[in-house]
Amino acid sequence: MALTTDTAKSIVDAYIDAWNTRNRDGYLSLFAPNATVEDPVGSPIHVGAEAIGAFFDGSLALADSLNMSAHAESIRVSGTSIAFMFTVASVIGDTTIELTPIDVFEITDDGLISSMKAFWSGQDMRTVSA
């Protein structure tokens, strides 16, 4: 599959939309059967649909609400890889915490994510309202 910026944008948009709508099935449909998720890099790697689904569920359970927005101008394509920056705002009680990670996807010939790595640390979190 020739990975173009337009294709990459479509994949990123679908990924962000799945998180924002809490669409577990839509999220999982973006991944190859034996895909891996490492979020953040250095943490335990989630392998396969069951583990990735549990990661999705667990991540959503951490906050009362969550909103992600991609920085469209940051999407980069190199070979079969996509890198992009986005902002996630998590509301926990009366507090909103923002984080701006960089995700890197490896894409299969079928246009599915075979690997997702998220680059961020606790130092990147900031409280924007309390």
Residue 1 has pLDDT above 80, yes or no: no
CB atoms within 10 A of CB 29: 12
Question: What's the pLDDT tens digit per position in 42-99?
Answer: 999 999 999 999 999 999 999 999 999 999 999 999 999 999 999 999 999 999 999 9
Mean pLDDT, the chain, whole residue set: 97
Confidence of residue 129 (pLDDT cuts 50, 70, 90): confident
Active site residue 27: no
Residue with tokens 């960089």: 102
Choosing from 6, 15, 64, 110, the catalytic residue is 15
Report how many domains make up the chain.
Answer: 1
Using DSSP bridges, classify how beta strands 31-38 and 102-107 pair: parallel, antiparallel or unpaired: unpaired
Model's pTM, two decimal places? 0.95
Q: How far apart are CA 103 and CA 96, in angstroms?
A: 21
| CATH number for position 39 | 3.10.450.50
Choosing from 6, 25, 39, 109, the catalytic residue is 39
Query: Which domain does 107 fall in, by range?
Result: 5-129
Active site residue 39: yes
CA angle at residue 35 from 3 to 119, to 5 degrees?
75
pLDDT of residue 130: 64
Q: How far apart are CA 69 and CA 72, in angstroms?
A: 9
Q: How far apart are CA 73 and CA 19, in angstroms?
A: 20
Residue 2 has pLDDT above 90, yes or no: no
